[in-house]
């Protein structure tokens, strides 16, 4: 049944793509491509035509078109950024396993932290190291994105990096064997409170592996006899629509409406739960303004069907379905082609979802040092499935735990409709 529903998703997307391709071809046939015409005129008549970077010119033209479209959720990825986008959706790549940023003052790639168990960690790369050359080419000459791409490659292949370590004021050379880096999008643990064991699941984003990772997490948590569950979707920007359906189906009975997708012509496609074998438990979902797209699909599906309550702050409000369209220049267009509606029929685009229990995040703003330490910890654990929680400093988590404990002790499940409460 899941294969059948997945086929429907694919067919619906393909139908949209065929319509988009036909419409774009019709427009080009009728009017010609003005952008191509301008570029051709530059190539033919411009005095400094030989010094022009035509790829950069084309990218700038496309980006200007997208900007003036006024669509908040339509994006263009130039060819050199497509690989990064693919990594985000697949959560795996061949590389050395580091989170990095660019130090423009030193023209170097700064390592925020090596990932746990990665090739970078094994050879001894450290947080704060500056990569100044890759396979003999300086980062300055390569540029940031090409340099990052140069660190990636086929698992088993080698890459030579020259690193400056500020703490020792020394330059070192490392030859690193690339490996398949698999980023974990689902992290989980258990929390014991008032002699009750609560399962905690954190979903960082919705990639190709999220559904399978969640099933593994739930198998482990249920084997530990949990009595309730917290699903943490805070700062989860979303991701693959198919994985939102997988995740929601792990909690909703077969046939329950998850979401309805509607295109510009009013044609609707409902998507329903595939079903699951897990025993129903009381669930609290944590959300905030960083919870978007697939996070909002899952949150509204469970809440509207009476299977969970939401705690935290209003969500981001991204109910726009982005269709991926490969371009002839190697770039990628993410075009808003549909909106999705919650099971209750709401279009939450640019509005968001207000939780059942509104709880502001902890007032204390972390210091720059604390924030950096949190970032490093996040990177280190990005290849691990074990979650870490800090109940004392997390007031939203505290509220979620209190709700679950009270509900479990009372022996009741959440009512289908709850008034917003503080």
Question: Given a cut of 90, is residue 418 above it in pLDDT?
Answer: no
**How far apart (Å, rounded) are the C-alpha atoms in residues 101 and 388?**
24
The arithmetic mean of pLDDT across residues 261-266, rounded, is 94
Question: Given a cut of 60, is residue 24 above it in pLDDT?
Answer: no
- Are the beta carbons of 208 and 90 closer than 8 angstroms? yes
Ranges 1-15, 230-244, 302-316, 389-403: which has the least confidence: 1-15
DSSP, collapsed to helix, strand or coil, labels residue 206 as strand
> How confident is the model over 223-253, as pLDDT tens digits?
999 999 999 999 999 999 999 999 999 999 9
**How far apart (Å, rounded) are the C-alpha atoms in residues 415 and 24?**
48
Q: How confident is the model at residue 32 (pLDDT cuts 50, 70, 90)?
A: very low
Q: How confident is the model at residue 29 (pLDDT cuts 50, 70, 90)?
A: very low
Determine phi and psi for 177, rounding to 5 degrees: -90, 115
> How confident is the model over 152-192, as pLDDT tens digits?
999 999 999 999 999 999 999 999 999 998 889 999 999 99
**How far apart (Å, rounded) are the C-alpha atoms in residues 37 and 57?**
13
Closest listed residue to residue 307, CA positions, set 228, 402, 196: 228
Q: How confident is the model at residue 26 (pLDDT cuts 50, 70, 90)?
A: very low
Sheet of 357-358, strand order: 186-193, 196-203, 228-232, 283-287, 309-312, 357-358
Ranges 19-28, 248-257, 378-387: which has the least confidence: 19-28
Q: pLDDT > 70: what percent of the chain? A: 86
**How far apart (Å, rounded) are the C-alpha atoms in residues 4 and 208?**
18
What is the CA 230 to chain-centroid distance, rounded? 20
- Are the beta carbons of 319 and 261 closer than 8 angstroms? no
Q: How confident is the model at residue 9 (pLDDT cuts 50, 70, 90)?
A: low
Residues 6+ apart with CB under 8 A from 343: 256, 257, 258, 259, 260, 300, 301, 304, 305
**How far apart (Å, rounded) are the C-alpha atoms in residues 391 and 388?**
10
Q: How confident is the model at residue 144 (pLDDT cuts 50, 70, 90)?
A: confident
> How confident is the model over 314-337, as pLDDT tens digits?
999 999 988 999 998 899 999 999
Tokens of 407: 């509900």
Q: How many CB atoms lie within 10 A of CB 46?
A: 12
Superfamily of domain 92-182: PDZ domain (2.30.42.10)
How confident is the model at residue 375, as a pLDDT? 60
CA quadruple 362, 367, 370, 376: dihedral sign: positive
The model scores a pTM over 0.85:
no
Question: Given a cut of 60, is residue 412 above it in pLDDT?
Answer: yes
Give me Rg for the CA atoms of the chain. 24
For strands 179-182 and 170-177, give the pairing: unpaired
Residues 6+ apart with CB under 8 A from 339: 261, 262, 319, 320, 321, 347, 349
Tokens of 162: 């020259």
Q: How confident is the model at residue 360 (pLDDT cuts 50, 70, 90)?
A: very high
Higher pLDDT, 246 or 148: 246
Q: How is the chain split into domains, by residue range?
A: 2-72, 92-182, 186-410
> What average pLDDT does the structure give for the chain?
87
Q: How confident is the model at residue 379 (pLDDT cuts 50, 70, 90)?
A: low
- Pick one of 3.90.226.10, 3.40.140.10, 3.40.50.300, 3.40.630.30 as the CATH number of 186-410: 3.90.226.10
């Amino acid at each position: 049944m899941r294969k059948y529903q997945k086929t429907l998703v694919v067919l619906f997307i393909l139908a949209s793509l065929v319509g988009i391709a036909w419409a774009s071809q019709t427009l080009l046939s009728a009017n010609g491509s003005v952008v191509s015409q301008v570029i051709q005129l530059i190539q033919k008549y411009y005095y400094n035509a030989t010094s022009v970077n035509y790829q950069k010119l084309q990218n700038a033209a496309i980006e200007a078109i997208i900007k003036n479209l006024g669509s908040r959720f339509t994006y263009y990825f130039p060819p050199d950024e497509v690989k990064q986008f693919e990594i985000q959706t697949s959560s795996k790549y061949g590389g050395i396993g580091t989170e990095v940023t660019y130090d423009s003052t030193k023209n170097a790639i700064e390592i925020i932290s090596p990932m746990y168990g990665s090739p970078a960690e094994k050879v001894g790369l450290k947080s704060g190291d500056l990569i100044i050359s890759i396979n003999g080419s300086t980062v300055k000459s390569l540029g940031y994105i090409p340099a990052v791409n140069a660190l990636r490659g086929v698992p088993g292949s080698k890459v030579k990096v020259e690193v400056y370590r500020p703490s020792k004021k020394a330059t070192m050379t490392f030859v690193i064997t690339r490996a398949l880096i698999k980023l974990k999008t689902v992290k989980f643990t258990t929390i014991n409170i008032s002699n009750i064991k609560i399962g905690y699941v954190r979903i960082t984003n919705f990639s190709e592996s999220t559904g399978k990772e969640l099933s593994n997490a739930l198998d482990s948590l249920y084997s530990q006899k949990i009595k309730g569950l917290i699903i943490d979707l805070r700062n989860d920007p979303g991701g693959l629509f198919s994985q939102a359906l997988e995740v929601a189906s792990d909690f909703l009975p077969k046939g329950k409406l998850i979401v309805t997708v509607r295109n510009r012509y009013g044609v609707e496609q409902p998507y329903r739960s595939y079903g699951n074998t897990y025993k129903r438990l009381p669930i609290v979902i944590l959300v905030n303004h960083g919870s978007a797209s697939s996070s909002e699909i899952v949150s509204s599906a469970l809440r509207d069907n009476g299977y969970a309550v939401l705690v935290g702050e209003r969500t981001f409000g991204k109910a726009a379905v982005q269709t991926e369209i490969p371009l002839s220049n190697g770039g990628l267009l993410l075009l808003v082609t549909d909106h999705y509606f919650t099971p209750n029929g709401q279009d939450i685009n640019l509005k968001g979802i207000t939780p059942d229990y509104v709880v502001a995040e902890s007032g204390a703003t972390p210091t720059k040092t604390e924030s950096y330490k949190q970032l490093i910890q996040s990177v280190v654990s990005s290849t691990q499935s074990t979650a870490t929680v800090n109940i004392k400093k997390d007031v939203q988590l505290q509220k979620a735990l209190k709700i679950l404990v009270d509900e479990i002790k009372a022996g009741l499940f959440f009512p289908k409709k709850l008034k917003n409460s503080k």
